[in-house]
């Protein structure tokens, strides 16, 4: 039992080291290309990745956040109505999504939608020796394959959080209007009270970190696939599981730190 | 071939030479391995040992490949043929020993110098390894766009030229998945040629091809390496194509080179391992682990993409 814990801790640390080396290697390869006065990334590849990570994820992120926002507003509203304090609903939803649920939901959605795709793609390329071919041509697989994906997911997760928060606020708007009878103008005032600059910035920062985690885990798992098609399947599952748990764990850590260092009010 | 490409590859050579200013050249490699000097080996392995964990794949391999040769590397599945090619490309590091290309110690180069050097070596993979998300044209354009200073028109001209060399002029806009194995192999060969390399490595060029396509690919290898005056190392276990292509042969067995010489010597070898392999007999010193119930059967190494 203790041996098993020790072994898995050791494995986790080894993998953390490898992921760090992957990041370092990518930065080095990008630097090489820059020092040869060439664009470090191909614009078209970057565009393809940002398009699928960003534009492609909008519907799912918006839908999930809208439904969760609406449900929360409905349930909280029903409770608070009893005490006549239902006007707290818009504020609560705004706080919850801008600093907590927005980054978390978006992170989980992207881990499943994009992280899995990254691992499966890179895994298939590894198995079919395409990654090795890229390396053998001297193109630098980390620069060529990992960098655009990592950049796309790290840069666009924060943007998607904004969409997520807007969708959730829209859900709470519908509930406020039709169920809690809060007038639209008053709703926007109340929501604005909930949107604090500090929370929004924290949420955006956090989500960038989540994007980096998901991208690194997914690419690392993809590039280290062994054992053919079955290996790709296993790696994809493990990539999603690892990045979702790491994202939730990191989020908890962020919240503990935030409460300890910058307590509310 | 074309003057611009030629100056271009000389530029790259200068870059490499520049990186090594002042460093003493390794023994027997005073020259950069340029076209003029035929005495210095283009590729040299010195007592290379390679282990994966406890498993020793190469156990003291020494080999020199000279400009203009078409060297055949023979060996059973899992004997370390692909591994040898990976060592030359610098994708794997030897556990002990040294690997040279054009007088540069591959195993001691930094990543950046290594990448410059890799552009001078073309590699044709067992399963082609074309980038599946790019069209044939983009696959060929990729190394030029990323590594050379050629203009777009020039790149298109080279692509047409190389595709014509492998008789595949009409598939530029196809995706790799739409092509047959033989077609992919030819595109892979064209991709290896775009930067006019000095050395081309072939990993089992006839694997998975029917006999006719396989002969066509063999002919291409012979014609192209002769036309472009490139050296090549061809890994195979198909004896027919080995004898067709090779100007020299070596055989890997149990981590060592057990025979090295012109193809004729292999036909009339006195080494029982070589004769068994060349004639494809089941009786002989090469054990079939499944038939003999070897207590430690070898891993089924080459079932998935040769790893
Ligand atoms: N990355 C690796 N990790 C562990 N073992 C490997 C690796 N690559 C190759 N091997 C082992 O090395 C041996 C030689 O492999 P390889 O060079 O691919 O053989 P082949 O001669 O069929 O091309 C095989 O037994 C294989 O299992
Ligand atoms: Mg092989």
Closest Cβ–Cβ partner in B119, B131, B307 for A138: B119
Q: Is B126 in the pocket of ligand 1 (CB under 6 A)?
A: no
What pLDDT score was predicted for residue B304? Answer: 37
CB atoms A138 and B115 under 8 Å: yes
Cα distances (Å, whole numbers) of residue B211 to A24, A187, A230, B176: 47, 76, 31, 22
Mean pLDDT across chain A: 94
CB atoms B131 and A134 under 8 Å: yes
Spatial neighbors of A206 by CB under 8 A, at least 6 apart, are A103, A250, A251, A254
Inside any domain, residue B301: no
Inside any domain, residue B305: no
Tens digit of each residue's pLDDT (9 = 90 or more) over A158-214: 999 999 999 999 999 999 999 999 999 999 999 999 899 989 999 999 999 999 999
d(CA A189, CA A184): 9
Closest Cβ–Cβ partner in B130, B131, B305 for A127: B305
Q: Which chain A residues have a beta carbon less than 8 Å from that of B127? A: 128-129
What pLDDT score was predicted for residue B294? Answer: 42
The residue-averaged pLDDT of A139-167 equals: 96
Decide if A55 touches B, using CB distance below 8 A: no
Q: Residue A70 in contact with residue A97, Cβ under 8 Å?
A: no
Q: Which chain B residues have a beta carbon less than 8 Å from that of A42? A: 145-146
What pLDDT score was predicted for residue B178? Answer: 95
The pair phi, psi for residue A264, each rounded to 5°, is: -60, 140
Inside any domain, residue B135: yes
Spatial neighbors of A6 by CB under 8 A, at least 6 apart, are none
Inside any domain, residue B4: no
CB atoms A136 and B123 under 8 Å: yes
Q: Is B57 in the pocket of ligand 1 (CB under 6 A)?
A: yes
d(CA A150, CA B260): 48
Q: Is B303 in the pocket of ligand 1 (CB under 6 A)?
A: no
**Could you identify the residue written with the tokens 């400009």?**
B67
CB atoms A227 and B117 under 8 Å: no
Q: Which chain A residues have a beta carbon less than 8 Å from that of B145? A: 42
User: Does residue B104 sit in helix, strand or coil?
Assistant: strand
**B231-235 and B55-65: which strand pairing?**
unpaired
**Surface-to-core class of residue B279, CB atoms within 10 Å of its CB (0-12 exposed, 13-18 middle, 19+ buried):** exposed
Q: What is the pLDDT along chain B (307 residues), one digit of tens a residue?
A: 444 444 444 444 444 444 444 344 444 444 444 444 557 899 999 999 999 999 999 999 999 999 999 999 999 889 999 999 999 999 999 999 999 999 999 988 988 899 999 999 999 999 899 999 999 999 999 999 988 888 999 999 999 999 998 888 889 999 999 999 889 999 999 999 999 999 999 999 988 888 888 898 899 999 989 988 899 999 988 888 899 999 999 999 999 999 999 999 988 888 888 888 888 888 888 875 444 444 444 444 433 333 3
CATH number of domain containing B25? 3.40.50.300
Inside any domain, residue B304: no
* B92: Cα separation from own chain's centroid: 14
What pLDDT score was predicted for residue A214? Answer: 97
Compute the count of residue pairs across chains A and B with CB atoms less than 8 Å apart: 71
Nearest to A132 by CA among A120, A145, A141: A141
Closest Cβ–Cβ partner in B115, B129, B146 for A128: B129
What pLDDT score was predicted for residue B38? Answer: 55
Q: Is B301 in the pocket of ligand 1 (CB under 6 A)?
A: yes
Tens digit of each residue's pLDDT (9 = 90 or more) over A2-56: 888 999 899 889 999 999 999 999 999 999 888 888 888 989 999 999 999 999 9
Spatial neighbors of B150 by CB under 8 A, at least 6 apart, are B4, B5, B8, B144, B158
Q: Which chain A residues have a beta carbon less than 8 Å from that of B147? A: 137-139
Gap from CA of B92 to ligand 2 centroid (Å): 14
* Strands (DSSP E) found in chain A: none
In this structure, the residue with its CA closest to atom 19 of ligand 1 is: B78
Question: What does pTM read for this prediction?
Answer: 0.86
Gap from CA of B304 to ligand 2 centroid (Å): 10
The pair phi, psi for residue B229, each rounded to 5°, is: 55, 40
Q: Which chain B residues have a beta carbon less than 8 Å from that of A125? A: 131-132
The pair phi, psi for residue B89, each rounded to 5°, is: -80, -5
A144: nearest CA in chain B? B146
What pLDDT score was predicted for residue B207? Answer: 83
Chain B interface test: which of A129, A145, A223 (most B C-beta within 10 Å): A129
d(CA B115, CA A32): 10
Gap from CA of B80 to ligand 1 centroid (Å): 6
Locate A143 and state its tokens: 């620069």
Decide if A43 touches B, using CB distance below 8 A: no
d(CA B57, CA B177): 33
What pLDDT score was predicted for residue B306? Answer: 36
Decide if A8 touches B, using CB distance below 8 A: no
Q: Which chain A residues have a beta carbon less than 8 Å from that of B53? A: none
The closest ligand to the CA of B84 turns out to be: 1
Chain A interface test: which of B132, B304, B306 (most A C-beta within 10 Å): B304
Q: Which chain A residues have a beta carbon less than 8 Å from that of B121? A: 136
Q: DSSP characters for B159-170?
A: HHHHHHHTT-TT
Helix (H) or strand (E) holding B289: helix B289-292
Cα distances (Å, whole numbers) of residue B86 to A106, A227, B266: 41, 19, 25
Q: Which residue has the higher pLDDT, B27 or A233?
A: A233
Q: Is B255 in the pocket of ligand 1 (CB under 6 A)?
A: no
Spatial neighbors of B152 by CB under 8 A, at least 6 apart, are none
**Nearest chain A CA: its distance from B144 CA (Å):** 10
Total domain count for chain B?
A: 1
Q: Which residues of B127-162 are buried (b: 16+ CB within 10 A; e: fewer)?
A: bbbbbeebbbbbbbbbbbebbbebeeebbbebbebb
B149: nearest CA in chain A? A38
Its sign, for the CA torsion B288, B291, B294, B295, is positive
> Alpha-carbon Rg of chain B, whole angstroms?
19
Inside any domain, residue B71: yes
ipTM of the complex: 0.83
Helix (H) or strand (E) holding B73: strand B70-74
In this structure, the residue with its CA closest to atom 20 of ligand 1 is: B78
**Could you identify the residue written with the tokens 């993409």?**
B305
Full residue range of the structural domain in which residue B286 is found: 12-290
Nearest to B87 by CA among A136, A126, A28, A224: A136
Gap from CA of A236 to ligand 1 centroid (Å): 24
d(CA A114, CA A124): 15
List the end-to-end C-alpha distance of chain B, in Å, as a whole number: 36
Inside any domain, residue B3: no
Decide if A130 touches B, using CB distance below 8 A: yes
Inside any domain, residue B7: no
Q: Residue B99 in contact with residue B117, Cβ under 8 Å?
A: no
């Amino acid at each position: 039992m203790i041996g098993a814990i020790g072994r898995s801790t050791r494995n986790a640390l080894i993998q953390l080291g490898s992921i760090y080396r992957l990041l370092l290697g990518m930065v080095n390869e990008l630097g090489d290309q820059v020092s040869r006065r060439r664009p470090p990334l191909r614009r078209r590849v970057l565009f393809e990745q940002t398009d699928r990570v960003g534009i492609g994820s909008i519907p799912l992120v918006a839908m999930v956040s809208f439904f969760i926002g609406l449900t929360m507003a409905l349930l909280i509203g029903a409770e608070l109505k009893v005490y006549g304090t239902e006007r707290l609903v818009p504020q609560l939803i705004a706080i919850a999504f801008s600093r907590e649920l927005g980054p978390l939901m978006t992170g989980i959605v992207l881990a499943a939608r994009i992280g899995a795709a990254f691992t499966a793609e890179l895994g298939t390329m590894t198995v079919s020796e395409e990654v090795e071919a890229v390396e053998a041509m001297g193109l630098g697989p980390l620069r060529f394959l990992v960098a655009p994906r990592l950049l796309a997911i790290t840069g666009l997760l924060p943007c998607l959080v904004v969409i997520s928060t807007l969708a959730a606020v829209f859900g709470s708007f519908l509930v406020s209007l039709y169920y809690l009878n809060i007038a639209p103008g008053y709703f926007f005032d109340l929501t604005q009270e909930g949107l604090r600059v500090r929370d929004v910035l924290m949420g955006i920062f956090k989500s960038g970190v989540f994007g980096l985690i998901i991208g690194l885990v997914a690419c690392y798992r993809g590039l280290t696939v062994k054992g053919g098609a079955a290996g790709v399947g296993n790696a994809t599952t493990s990539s999603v599981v690892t990045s979702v748990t790491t994202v939730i764990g990191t989020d908890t850590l962020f919240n503990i730190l935030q409460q300890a260092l910058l307590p509310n009010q | 071939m074309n003057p611009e490409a030629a100056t271009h590859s000389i530029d790259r050579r200068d870059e490499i030479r520049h990186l090594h200013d002042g460093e003493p050249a390794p023994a027997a490699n005073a020259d950069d391995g340029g076209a003029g000097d035929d005495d210095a080996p283009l590729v040299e392995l010195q007592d290379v040992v390679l282990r994966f964990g406890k498993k020793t794949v190469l156990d003291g391999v020494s080999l020199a490949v000279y400009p203009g040769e078409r060297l055949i590397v023979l060996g059973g599945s899992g004997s370390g043929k692909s591994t040898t090619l990976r060592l030359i490309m610098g994708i794997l590091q030897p556990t002990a020993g040294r690997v040279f290309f054009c007088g540069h110690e591959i195993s001691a180069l930094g990543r950046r110098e290594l990448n410059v050097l890799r552009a001078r070596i073309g590699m044709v993979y067992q399963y082609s390894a074309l980038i599946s998300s790019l069209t044939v044209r983009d696959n060929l354009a990729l190394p030029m766009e990323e590594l050379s200073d050629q203009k777009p028109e020039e790149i298109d001209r080279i692509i047409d030229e190389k595709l014509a060399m492998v008789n595949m002029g009409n598939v530029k806009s196809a995706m790799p998945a739409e092509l047959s194995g033989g077609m992919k192999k030819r595109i892979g060969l064209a991709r290896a040629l775009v930067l006019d390399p000095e050395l081309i490595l072939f990993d089992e060029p006839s694997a998975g091809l029917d006999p006719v396509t396989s002969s066509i690919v063999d002919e291409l290898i012979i014609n192209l390496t002769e036309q472009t005056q490139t050296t090549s190392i061809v890994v195979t276990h198909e004896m027919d194509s080995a004898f067709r292509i090779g100007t020299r042969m070596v055989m890997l067995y149990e981590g060592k080179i057990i025979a090295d010489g012109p193809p004729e010597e292999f036909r009339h070898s006195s080494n029982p391992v070589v004769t068994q392999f060349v004639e494809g007999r089941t009786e002989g010193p090469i054990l079939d682990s499944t038939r003999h119930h070897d207590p430690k059967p070898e891993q089924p190494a080459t079932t998935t993409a040769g790893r």
